[in-house]
């Protein structure tokens, strides 16, 4: 076991020595990217992002006028979106109509803060995905400069293997840069799509909860003069 660890460390050191400081920088960047990805996956799992079945069920009950049943559906509120929707429903049931504008604004601020928390770290991942190939290309340019300097110093006694070896080492940095950027970019796209769906759900849910349809009394036509207003308020989505 100790021999395997020592052999692995030796290979890593040889690789870093071969690639130079640029590969070392890219290794640090890759570790940073991996750390951010693990933290984001953990955050999405804890927040239960994408678990919308209970929320959809509650919204169906709310639309049908069964407000208390909708509240009970979200009683556990295991994910962040469900907590916001439950808060909106409870507020609408207990609030006064004159407070509708303030309540709507507060709920949407809470939703915005929740989504902003989910999007934290996205800019860092995007920066890593964009800058990693550039760092690799920079290393390639430096390596090519060194290779041609050695070629010039050799004069007439040019060794083709010397030039080929220098170019191979130079291109190594570009390959490492792409290897860091491509998975980071793919994972960032996946994170963004998950948060985007969460945002769309919250927008629709708050619109449904804050703008309840009026209930029609039994035996009264929908176009009748008098209607029974549901408990809650009418708020136009911001």
Per residue in 5-15, pLDDT (tens digit) is 655 556 656 55
List pLDDT tens digits, range 35-52. Answer: 999 999 999 988 888 888
Residue 14 burial (C-beta neighbours within 10 Å; 0-12, 13-18, 19+): exposed
| Across 167-171, average pLDDT | 77
Model pLDDT, residue 35: 95
> Contact at 8 Å (CB) between 84 and 110?
yes
State yes or no: pLDDT of 180 exceeds 70: yes
Share of the chain above pLDDT 70, in %: 72
State residue 74 phi and psi, 5-degree precision.
-105, 20
Q: For residues 151 and 114, which has the higher predicted lDDT (pLDDT)?
A: 114
Model pLDDT, residue 89: 85
The predicted model scores a pTM of 0.75
| Across 125-137, average pLDDT | 94
Mean pLDDT, the chain, integer: 78
Model pLDDT, residue 81: 87
Q: For residues 152 and 188, which has the higher predicted lDDT (pLDDT)?
A: 188
List pLDDT tens digits, range 188-230. Answer: 999 999 999 999 999 998 888 887 655 444 444 444 444 444 4
Distance from C-alpha of 155 to C-alpha of 173, rounded to nearest angstrom: 27
> Of 75-89, 96-110, 146-160, which range is least confident?
146-160
Model pLDDT, residue 62: 86
| Across 166-195, average pLDDT | 90
Model pLDDT, residue 116: 92
Model pLDDT, residue 215: 46
| Across 70-79, average pLDDT | 79
State yes or no: pLDDT of 151 exceeds 60: yes
| Across 135-161, average pLDDT | 76
């Amino acid at each position: 076991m100790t021999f395997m660890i020592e052999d692995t460390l030796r290979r890593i050191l040889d690789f870093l020595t071969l690639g130079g400081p640029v590969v070392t920088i890219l290794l640090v960047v890759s570790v940073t990217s991996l750390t951010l990805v693990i933290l984001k996956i953990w955050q999405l799992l804890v927040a239960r992002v994408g678990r919308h079945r209970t929320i959809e069920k509650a919204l169906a009950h709310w639309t049908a006028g069964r407000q208390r049943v909708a509240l009970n559906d979200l009683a556990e509120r295991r994910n962040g979106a469900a907590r916001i929707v439950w808060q909106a429903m409870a507020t609408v049931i207990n609030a006064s109509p004159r407070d509708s504008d303030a309540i709507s604004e507060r709920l949407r601020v809470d939703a915005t803060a929740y989504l902003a928390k989910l999007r934290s770290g996205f800019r860092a991942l995007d920066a890593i995905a964009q800058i990693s190939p550039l760092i690799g290309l920079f290393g390639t340019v430096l390596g090519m400069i060194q290779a041609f300097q050695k070629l010039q110093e050799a004069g007439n006694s040019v060794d083709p293997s010397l030039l080929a070896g220098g170019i191979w080492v130079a291109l190594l940095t570009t390959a490492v840069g792409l290897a860091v950027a491509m998975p980071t970019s793919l994972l960032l796209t996946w994170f963004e799509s998950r948060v985007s769906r969460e945002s769309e759900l919250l927008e629709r849910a708050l619109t449904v909860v804050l703008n309840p349809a009026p209930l029609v009394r039994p035996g009264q036509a929908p176009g009748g003069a008098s209607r029974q207003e549901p408990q809650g308020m009418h708020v136009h989505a911001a």
